Amino acid sequence: MKRLAVYCGSATPGDRRYIDLARTVGTTLAERGIGVVYGGGRLGLMGALASAALVAGGEVIGVIPEAMMSREVANLNCTELRVVTSMHERKALFTELSDGFLTLPGGVGTMDELWEAVSWAQLGYHAKPVGLLNAFGFFDTLLDFTRQMVDTGFIRPAHQHIIMAERELDLLLARMAAHEPHKPIFAMKPERS
């Protein structure tokens, strides 16, 4: 993995563990020679991730919509900052530039990015690993909900492990590096209803 798209919040939670987590991830990726592709912001977890990666000598590519540039939230210190016209273009560029996806805690935008990566993997638009860093049990209920979707038949058994979730970054990165693509929906025979 030469580059990972890292999805995380632009907010700064009151609990400083989340900012520290983002810094640790940024530093670790840089130290391992893994570039960061992220949302291009300078605030919250996003800013902490990018700053730490840059300080550690890592490559950081920000991808930010024009509307956010004008709100002065862009991180102009990135190795490269790409300005796009829409959120759709942003997510497509994340996929094009990265070798996988790593999700840290965040809000609605982070979840949107995660679910699109999962959905595109299911369909076969990409065959890249989708990692979820479940630090502090932040994603426990999301993982329970995902199991419920599997149990009720909304996620096929072949796709139940698209999300690779771990509480420790080293273990998650090892699993992502060993990722073997699954059979996408486009390669399956249609199910009868």
Contact of 16 with 44, CB cutoff 8 Å: no
- Note whether 32 and 42 are within 8 A (CB): no
Per DSSP, the residues of 1-33 read --EEEEE--SS--SSTHHHHHHHHHHHHHHHTT
pLDDT at 192: 57
> How much is the pLDDT for 20?
98
pTM here is 0.93
**Topology of domain 3-177, CATH:** Rossmann fold (3.40.50)
Yes or no: say if 61 and 78 are a contact pair by the CB < 8 Å rule: yes
pLDDT value at residue 191: 62
Domains of the chain, by residue range, sit at: 3-177
**Are the CB atoms for 95 and 126 separated by under 8 Å?**
yes
Q: Which of 67, 17, 86, 77 is nearest to 45 (CA)?
A: 17
Low-confidence ranges of the chain (pLDDT < 70): 72, 189-193
pLDDT at 185: 79
pLDDT at position 72, please? 66
User: What pLDDT, on the 0 to 100 scale, is given for residue 183?
Assistant: 85
3-state secondary structure of 180: coil
